[in-house]
Structure formats: structure tokens, C-alpha cells
Amino acid sequence: MPPRPELYPANRAFALLAAAFALLFAFVVVVLAVDQERAREASERLQQQTVPKIIRFQRLARNLDQLRHEGELVFSSDTPEGRQQSLYLVMLVASHPSILEHPQAAAAAREMEAFLAETGRLATQDPAMLRVQQGEWQQLSRRLNLLVDDILVEGANLATADLGEVADAMRLTRYKLMGATILLGGFLLLLIILLRQHLLRPLRRIDRALSSLSVDRPAPEFPDARLAEIHAVEEATKRLHDALVSNDAARRELQLLANRDDLTGLMNRRHFMESATTELRRAQRYGRPTAVALGDLDFFKSLNDTYGHGAGDAVLRTFAELLTESLRQSDLVCRYGGEEFAFLFPESTVGQAHILVERFRERWAAQEIRLPDGLLVRATLSIGVADTSHCSIDVALQRADFALYEAKRLGRNRVVVAAEAG
Amino acid sequence: MPAFRSLFLIAAMLSGALHAADLRVAVLVQDEAQVSPQGALVPSSTPRADLVAYTDELAREICRRIRSRCAVSYVTFGEILPGVEDGRFDLGFGNFLRVPKREKRVAFSEPIFRSASRLVGSPATARAFARKLGQAVRLDNLRGARVAAMEGSQQQAFLDAIAAERELTVVAAATTAGAFGALRNGSADFALLPIRTGYALISHDKPRRFGFVGPATADHGLGDTVHIILPKQKEKLRHALNQAIAEIRADGTGHRIMRRHFPVNLD
């Protein structure tokens, strides 16, 4: 016999599963929360730091462009007054904190301011110097334009980097969410399979076993259950079947004791009457022949008086044993009272019954009976037979009794058939 | 008729309840001469470089945005912060740099623009000092000079802090115009001024004797964001003020006001 697998209490098993699910769920929540926090931080950084920085870059670019524009005006102004005014504006723009805090822009602004101040000074002395300075101004202007472009690109790159990080975080979150969904789905599937395997199917088996539990069927068999409670219910179901079988056996024993005559082991009169009534009802319903008989041991009282009650009992027991051997299984016979016996012969006409009882009477008459003191005696039997195909059992027995009386009157040890008209 | 009068009174009371409280606003003037004896602002002769007109219009626009009736007082720089601190003014438009020392006394709005400081002086004086110093004049190498600054300003605080070490003489003036006046009358060699103020003053000065000297600086508390100040306890007002600043920045009103009074718009 293979070793029995270990049993797990259901509450512990389900608590374990619930704990595993809770842990898994918590793990998923933590993982997603971490990712969400990362995305939130990246988004917040974008909003709080990068976007203001980009705006600063844009403003710086605009201020540098303004600087270049005012520088152009120094060259395009017709009057020293106009040039000076533009130069003041160049100085104002070059002094702005947005330019000062950007080293490249600050250096370019200082260089441009110095160049334009020198140009203004030279132009005041000789306006033709403006044309001389124009070439170098173009180079400075181009360099400033390139710096403006670089600053704008730098700002755009900042946004691209931060947005890329946010997108990466969101993508990672999406993948993890999908993974978590699959993981949780798998866990739920496993849970369903385990429930089906270890709870629902065993319960269905138990239900089927209980529904068909009967003394006529063998004890239910269950495959090994892993849950202790299921195993306990299965064992209880088996014990219930054993109890049913045991109760049925006891019931049969009691029924036997209630229907039998203690001394002879034959049916008692009450049981005979019930059985005979049922059989007669069946036979009459189908129009089948039935006959009854009443038999009485001849001179039984004298035998009792002569040899004692023990001898009488021995005669009765021997008579019953011979009856059991001689009659058909379908025939009913009982100890009707004292030394009187009643018979019912299903599927038999009066004639057939007559032959049967006559044959038995002859066997009984030839039977030697050993009494308790060892003495061998013989006894005879008088029998009255009556048809019962068209009357009740009581009427038929009454007729058989009349025939028995007639047999006694005619000298005993004989069979008399009751007349139809009784 | 009495019923009609009661209804009118109730309606008047309700309409009054809908009005926000009146605000007392202090607006910085560069020069006491810009204020008439009646306390009104005297229109500037140079419309394209007028800081006071800019500040005045900005103050009125913000009052309109926060749905308040403002009583504007035109005062010098030194009066604004104490006035706001002791509750005489609800808002102070003085182009205040935000520094810890001031934060202990008043509350600050969100920035309205950015500023730096720069020396202003005549080219001749600059050349003379360059010869003496052996290099071009800058704020960080200036020694032995008389430098004018507005009283209570960060510029004055900075100069006071380095005066002994650099052998500087600080010439304090109630207004920026006063500091610039010290240059003009020869009682100062240089003036350390906020760049916009410096620009407004040198561009107004018709003989064009002065200009910026050396590079500008925003270090040592001499530059960064410029704010409106208000009493510390008025958190609701500060919230409304910040909202108004955000609105005029977002819808371009702030830039338009700036461009009306300055030839360039710097952020």
C-alpha cells in the first residue's frame, strides 16, 4: 500500500494561499508604486526644473537676439545720438542676469559691448569707420546667432531628455503592469485549479457517494484527498455506509425474530397471514390458482402426556425440518397454533396441492422421531386442503379447517379436500 | 417710498460687499521732483525710458486684476519697506531684490523681472581709475573711489560691506536720481545702480557724459529676481497678487507695459 500523502487543514491551506496572494499583490503594488513614483518625479522635474530652465534658455536666446538687434542699430543709426542710444541699450541688455549667468553668453555679450563701444567712439571721430568695423561686426553677429541657436537646441535637448525619461518610465510601468496582470492572472488560475482539484471535485464525489449510498452497493471509494477536512468527510461517508449495512443486518435479524416461531423456526401465524394475504392478492389479480391447507398432528396431546413436553417439542422440530426439506421454496408454511400447521401453495390447483400434501403425509408417517430419551416414535398427520382462487385467506382456511375436521373424523392420517360449496 | 428706499440701501450694501477692500500702494520714484505737491506723478519728459511710469502702470494693472481700488502713493525707496512692514502700505512696488534680511520683514510676490547692478560713471573717470588700478575698472577691483548708491538698497549694503577693505567712500542718496546727481555734481566718482535705473538715468542725461562702467554683476545680492513686497500676514493678498502676475505674464500684458516705457523688453 503506497504511503498516504500528507494532509493539510483547509483553513491553513487557504490562509497560506491568501497570504501568498496578499504578498504577491503587495509586491505588485510596491513595484508599480515605485515606477509611478519615478514617473511622477520625472514629470515633476520636467515641470519644476526643466520647463523653467527651457523658458530661461528661450529668454536668454531672445535677449541675445535683442542684443544683436541693438548692435545692428549702432551701425545703422545716422546720428551719434542714435548710436549712443543704441549703445546704451546694448549695455543694458548685456547686463541682464540671464546673460550674466551663462558664461558663453556673458563672454559674447562683453565682447560685443566692447566692440560696439569702440566702434561708437571711432565713428564719433570718423563716421567712415563704421564701414571699416562692419566686417568684424558681421562675424560677431554670426557667432552670436550661432550661440542663440546652440542655446535653443540646448533647451530643446533638455526637454527631449526629460520627456524621454518620462516616456521610459511610463513604458517600463506599462510592461510591469502587463507582467503583474499576467502574474496575478496566473495566480488566480492556479487558485481556481487548486480549488477545483482539492475542494470542488472531492465535494462532488462526496455528493455523488452520499446520493447513491445504499446497503445494496459497496462502500464508496475515494482517491486520496489532500485537505484534512475533505478526507474527514470521505471517511465519515464510508463509516455512514458501514453503519447503514450494519443497521440493515440488524433490521433483518429483528424481522426474522419477529416473524418466526421460536420452537420450529417456521413462520409464525401473524407473518404467514400477512404473506399469504399478499400472495393471494397477487394470484387473484392475475387469475392464478392457489390452494391452502391446514394440517394437525394426530394424537399429539397423548404423545405429550405420555412422553412429556420435551418429546412434544422434539416431534414438532422434526416435523418442521421435514417440512422445510419437502416443500417447494415458494410454498408458505407456518405453525398455526400448538400442533396445527397452515400451508399456502402458490401457482397450484387444489389437485396439485392435494398431491403435494399427500406425498408429505406419507413421508411424515414413515419418519422416525428420536425423542430426548432416545426412544424412536412415529406420528401421523391429518390435512384439510381448500381452493383459495376465488375467496379470502380466512374463508379458504376455514374451508380447509372443515376438511381437516373431516379427515380427523374419517380416522386421521389422511388428506381431505374441501368441497367447493363448503 | 420707504420700501423702495430700503431696497435701494440693501442693493447698495450688497454691491459694496462685492467690492474688494481698498489697497494702499507705494510706488517707487527715482526723484522727489517726479511727485507734484499734491502727490501726483509728474509726467516724464522722456517717455521711452521711464521706470516710474512703468512701475505706476504695472501697479495699476495689478490692482485691476485683483479687483481692488488702489490708493497710490509715490515715495522714495527707503520709505517703502518700512511702510509695508508697519502696515501703512499693502503693496510696495520698489523693484525689491529678494534677500534673507528683507524676507524677515516683509513677504515677497512671485518675480516680476530680473535685474543686475552695474557701475555708472563718466568715461574719463573710468580711464583715470583704470590707469590708477592698472586695469579696466570693474566692481570687483575698484579701490579708493567715491561710489554713490541709493539708501536702503542692496547696492548700498554691498558697498558698505566692502568699503573699508577697498578704501571706498559710500555716498548715500535717498533716490537713484540723487545718486546719479552725486555723479553729476562731482561728489561721487561712480554710482552703483540697478541696470534699468542706470539705463534710464544715463539715457535721460542729455549731455551724455555718463555710461556703464565695467561688467554688470548679479552676485553678492546685487542681482536676481525683482519682486513686489507686501505685509507678511496677508497671505490671501499674496495669493491674489501672484495670480495677477501670472495672468499678466501669460497674456502678454506685462510685456506690453514694459515696451510702452522701455525700448527693449528683457525677461
pLDDT in tens, B23-63: 999 999 888 777 887 778 777 665 445 788 889 999 999 99
In this model, does residue A421 exceed pLDDT 50?
A: no
Residue B211 within a domain: yes
**Which pLDDT does position A197 carry in this prediction?**
85
pLDDT mean over B242-251: 94
Q: Identify the residue whose cell numbers are 528683457.
A: B266
C-alpha cell of residue B240: 491674489
**Which pLDDT does position A179 carry in this prediction?**
86
> What digits encode the pLDDT tens for the residues A362-379?
999 999 999 998 999 999
> What digits encode the pLDDT tens for the residues A133-143?
999 999 999 99
Q: How many domains does chain B have?
A: 2
**Which pLDDT does position A40 carry in this prediction?**
83
Phi and psi angles of residue A8, each rounded to the nearest 5 degrees, phi first? -120, 130
Cα nearest neighbour of A56 on chain B:
B267
The CA dihedral of B22, B26, B32, B33, to the nearest 10 degrees, is -50
Query: Could you tell me which residues come within 8 angstroms of residue B226 by beta carbon, excluding any fewer than 6 positions away?
Result: B95, B96, B97, B111, B112, B113, B114, B115
Written as one letter, the residue type at A99 is: I
Written as one letter, the residue type at A276 is: A
**Euclidean distance between CA atoms A381 and A412, whole angstroms:** 7
**CB spacing of B218 vs A97 below 8 angstroms:** yes
**CB spacing of B223 vs A100 below 8 angstroms:** yes
For chain A, the structural domain boundaries read: 10-191, 265-417
> What digits encode the pLDDT tens for the residues A271-281?
999 999 999 99
**Which pLDDT does position B143 carry in this prediction?**
94
Task: Concatenate the DSSP letters of all residues of A309-342 into one string.
Answer: HHHHHHHHHHHHHHHHHHS-TT-EEEEEETTEEE
Return the minimum-mean-pLDDT range out of A1-15, A83-97, A302-316, A389-403: A1-15
**CB spacing of B211 vs A96 below 8 angstroms:** no
Domain, as residue range, for B8: 2-115+225-261
Q: Are residues B107 and B229 in the same domain?
A: yes
Residues in chain B with CB shorter than 8 Å from the CB of A92 are 195-196, 198-199, 264, 266
Q: Are residues B129 and B204 in the same domain?
A: yes
pLDDT mean over A110-131: 90
Cα nearest neighbour of A111 on chain B:
B215
Q: Are residues B136 and B210 in the same domain?
A: yes
**Euclidean distance between CA atoms A420 and B8, whole angstroms:** 131
pLDDT mean over A5-26: 82
Nearest to A97 among B198, B199, B223 (CB): B223
Shortest distance between the Cα of B170 and any Cα of chain A, in A, equals: 23
pLDDT mean over A304-329: 92
Which residues 112-141 of B are in CB contact (within 8 Å) with A? Answer: 114-116, 118
In this model, does residue B4 exceed pLDDT 80?
A: no
In a mutational test of the A interface, the residue from B95, B192, B195, B208 whose CB has the highest number of chain A CBs within 10 Å is B195
Please, what is the average pLDDT of chain B?
87
**Which pLDDT does position B9 carry in this prediction?**
44
Residues in chain B with CB shorter than 8 Å from the CB of A62 are 267
Residue B19 within a domain: yes
> What digits encode the pLDDT tens for the residues A45-56?
888 888 888 888
pLDDT mean over B69-84: 93
Tally helices (H) and strands (E) across chain B: 10, 11
- What is the DSSP secondary structure assignment for residue B33, as one 8-state letter? G
**Which pLDDT does position B265 carry in this prediction?**
78
**Which pLDDT does position B203 carry in this prediction?**
86
pLDDT mean over A237-251: 92
**Euclidean distance between CA atoms B193 and B179, whole angstroms:** 8
Q: Are residues B135 and B204 in the same domain?
A: yes
> What digits encode the pLDDT tens for the residues A203-223?
998 999 899 888 888 888 888
**Which pLDDT does position A43 carry in this prediction?**
82
Q: Are residues B121 and B136 in the same domain?
A: yes
* ipTM for this model: 0.84
**CB spacing of A66 vs B266 below 8 angstroms:** yes
Which CATH number does the domain housing residue B75 bear? Answer: 3.40.190.10
Residue B262 — pLDDT band, cuts 50, 70, 90? confident
Phi and psi angles of residue A85, each rounded to the nearest 5 degrees, phi first? -60, -45
Residues in chain B with CB shorter than 8 Å from the CB of A72 are none
Please, what is the average pLDDT of chain A?
89
**CB spacing of B267 vs A94 below 8 angstroms:** no
**Euclidean distance between CA atoms A143 and A150, whole angstroms:** 10
Q: Please give the order of strands across the beta sheet that includes A381-387.
A: A332-337, A340-346, A290-297, A381-387, A415-417
Angle (nearest 5°) at CA A119 between A117 and A122? 110
**Which pLDDT does position B44 carry in this prediction?**
64
CB B232 within 8 A of CB B81: no
B224 inside 8 A of chain A by CB: yes
In this model, does residue A422 exceed pLDDT 50?
A: no
In a mutational test of the A interface, the residue from B139, B203, B219, B266 whose CB has the highest number of chain A CBs within 10 Å is B266
Residue B30 within a domain: yes
> Strand pairing of B113-115 and B224-230?
antiparallel
**Euclidean distance between CA atoms B71 and B90, whole angstroms:** 10
**CB spacing of A97 vs B115 below 8 angstroms:** yes
**Which pLDDT does position B7 carry in this prediction?**
46
Residue A195 — pLDDT band, cuts 50, 70, 90? confident
Pairs across A and B, CB distance < 8 A: 63
Q: Are residues B166 and B36 in the same domain?
A: no
CB A316 within 8 A of CB A264: yes
| Angle between helical axes of A51-76 and A80-94 (0-180°, round to 10) | 160
Residue A298 — pLDDT band, cuts 50, 70, 90? very high
pLDDT mean over A52-79: 89
- What is the DSSP secondary structure assignment for residue B232, as one 8-state letter? T
Residue A176 — pLDDT band, cuts 50, 70, 90? confident
**Which pLDDT does position A321 carry in this prediction?**
94
**Euclidean distance between CA atoms A411 and A95, whole angstroms:** 162
Q: Are residues B7 and B108 in the same domain?
A: yes
> What digits encode the pLDDT tens for the residues B191-222?
999 999 999 889 888 777 899 999 999 999 99
In this model, does residue A420 exceed pLDDT 60?
A: no
Residues in chain B with CB shorter than 8 Å from the CB of A110 are 215
Residue B12 — pLDDT band, cuts 50, 70, 90? very low
pTM, two decimal places = 0.61
Residue B267 within a domain: no
Residues in chain A with CB shorter than 8 Å from the CB of B263 are 89
Q: Are residues B95 and B15 in the same domain?
A: yes
**Euclidean distance between CA atoms A284 and B148, whole angstroms:** 146
Domain topology for A265-417: Alpha-Beta Plaits (3.30.70)
Residue B161 within a domain: yes
Nearest to A321 by CA among A310, A311, A330, A333: A333
**Euclidean distance between CA atoms B210 and B176, whole angstroms:** 14
Q: Are residues B39 and B88 in the same domain?
A: yes
Nearest to B199 among A63, A88, A106 (CB): A88
**CB spacing of B218 vs A59 below 8 angstroms:** no
Nearest to A91 among B208, B211, B263 (CB): B211
Share of chain A above pLDDT 70, in %: 98
Q: Identify the residue whose cell numbers are 406425498.
A: A359
In this model, does residue A57 exceed pLDDT 50?
A: yes
**Which pLDDT does position B13 carry in this prediction?**
44
Cα nearest neighbour of B117 on chain A:
A95
Residue B19 — pLDDT band, cuts 50, 70, 90? very low
Q: Are residues B121 and B176 in the same domain?
A: yes
**Which pLDDT does position B64 carry in this prediction?**
94
> What digits encode the pLDDT tens for the residues B83-120?
999 999 999 999 899 999 999 999 999 999 999 999 99
Nearest to B114 among A93, A97, A106 (CB): A97
Residue B266 within a domain: no
**Which pLDDT does position A13 carry in this prediction?**
80
In a mutational test of the A interface, the residue from B212, B222, B224, B249 whose CB has the highest number of chain A CBs within 10 Å is B212
- Angstrom CA distances, B162 to A362, B157, B158, B166, B171, stand at 158, 9, 7, 6, 13
Phi and psi angles of residue B107, each rounded to the nearest 5 degrees, phi first? -100, 155
Q: What share of chain A is helix, strand, coil (3-state, %, to 5)?
A: 70, 10, 20
**Euclidean distance between CA atoms A225 and A330, whole angstroms:** 49
Query: Could you tell me which residues come within 8 angstroms of residue B72 by beta carbon, excluding any fewer than 6 positions away?
Result: B25, B26, B27, B56, B59, B60
